[in-house]
Amino acid sequence: MSKVTQVAIEEAVAQAKREFLPVKGIVAVSWMNRTIVFYVETPQDAAKVPSSYYGYPTMVKIIGPIVTLK
């Protein structure tokens, strides 16, 4: 098993945004309580999120698609 060097949470979130926001179904990334939070459209999209990232645990919130209000 490879060892992951832990970086500052802000840096890990910034990298997660660069890596995961281009992925269809992942709509946002944030953090709270030293946990990286991924916001996804469907339960199937939740499978695209790792259980940890740069040594931080992750959490998935299924929020559905984001639509423009008229």
- Residue bearing tokens 């259980």: 51
Residue 2 within a domain: no
CA dihedral 36, 53, 6, 30 (to 10 degrees): -20
The number of CA neighbours under 13 Å toward the Cβ of 3 is 2
Residue 27 within a domain: yes
Q: What is the pLDDT of residue 46?
A: 97
Single out the residue of 39, 41, 46 nearest to residue 64, CA to CA: 41
What is the number of structural domains in the chain?
A: 1
Residue 39 within a domain: yes
Residue 18 within a domain: yes
pLDDT above 80 for 4: no
Q: pTM for the whole thing?
A: 0.86
Residues 17-41 pLDDT 10s: 999 999 999 999 999 999 999 999 9
Residue 53 within a domain: yes
What is the domain extent for residue 27?
A: 9-62
Phi, psi angle pair for 8, to nearest 5°: -60, 145
pLDDT above 50 for 1: no
